[in-house]
Amino acid sequence: MFARIAAPYDRLNHLFSGGVDFWWRHLLVRSASEKSKTQNPKSKILDLACGTGDVSLVLQRAGFEVVGGDFCEPMLERARAKGVKETVVADALNLPFTDASFDAVTIAFGYRNFEDRPRALREIHRVLKPNGTVHILEFSQPYGWFRPVYFFYLHHILPKAAKLLCRDQAAYEYLSCSIKAFPEVEDIGRELEGANFREVSWSRPTLGIVAIHSAGK
């Protein structure tokens, strides 16, 4: 599915979010920079489920050593074409890296797609150095009063627009369902704690449409 939508992925993301996805990624990168040792330009960051590499590029331009990891090679092809220097085909459930390889791990809109989130968190914990940090940007459950409007958009407008613009309504129906089924921010916090992460915190920008979780090893 991700291979099918690799080509129009960036354009549709910007369109369907009204361009606010640029701001969300900026917040993720700022979180990684401020709450971890990534303030050291020599820090090494794994951008997991990197897709077409938008977050990888921002981190790379900031001077960090970045590895973009994703299990979908067509997505990585787009990332390399955009200028991401190092990419690796990587399954989050079985990361191809040695223990304590990275100072930080970032994930933007990929965490809800992991088939086994606790296992993925254990793998992330394993490849992080002591005192390393993980930062997860993901769609979330918005504030209660906004949910009816938001879910109407997800289920009735977004898939039809996707069918018109990229002829792949099914992919964006999956997107809608995966967002609605995703746990509350407190539950994700407990998942991080269950994987032995500490100092778990989160923020909920844009009416709670997304959440950014941060935690340390």
Q: How far is CA 202 from the centre of its chain?
A: 14
User: Token pair for residue 148?
Assistant: 């009816």
Number of H helices, E strands in the chain: 9, 7
Structural domains in the chain, CATH included, are: 18-141+183-216 (3.40.50.150)
Largest CA distance in the chain: 48
- 92 within 8 A of 122, measured Cβ to Cβ: no
In whole angstroms, what is the distance from residue 21 CA to residue 14 CA? 6
Helix (H) or strand (E) holding 48: strand 44-48
Q: What is the DSSP letter of 43?
A: -
The Cα 150–Cα 141 span in angstroms is 9
Structure tokens, 16: 């369907």
Q: How long, in residues, is the chain?
A: 217
- Three-class secondary structure of residue 200 per DSSP: strand
Chain-centre distance for alpha carbon 23 = 14
Annotate 117-167 with three-state secondary structure: HHHHHHHHHHHEEEEEEEEEEEECCCCHHHHHHHHHHHHHHHHHHHHHHHC
What's the pTM? 0.89
Query: Up-side HSE of residue 165: CA atoms within 13 Å toward CB?
Result: 19
**In a structure prediction context, what are the per-residue pLDDT tens digits for the chain, which is 217 residues long?**
766 665 666 666 667 778 898 999 999 999 998 865 545 657 899 999 999 999 999 999 988 999 999 999 999 999 999 999 999 999 999 999 999 999 999 999 999 999 999 999 999 999 999 999 999 999 999 998 999 998 888 877 877 776 676 665 566 666 777 788 889 999 999 999 999 999 999 999 999 999 999 999 9
Residue with tokens 């407190």: 186
The predicted pLDDT at position 151 comes to: 86
3-state secondary structure of 54: helix
Q: What is the per-residue pLDDT for 170?
A: 66
pLDDT, residue 79, reads 95
**Contact (Cβ atoms closer than 8 angstroms) between residue 118 and residue 193:** no
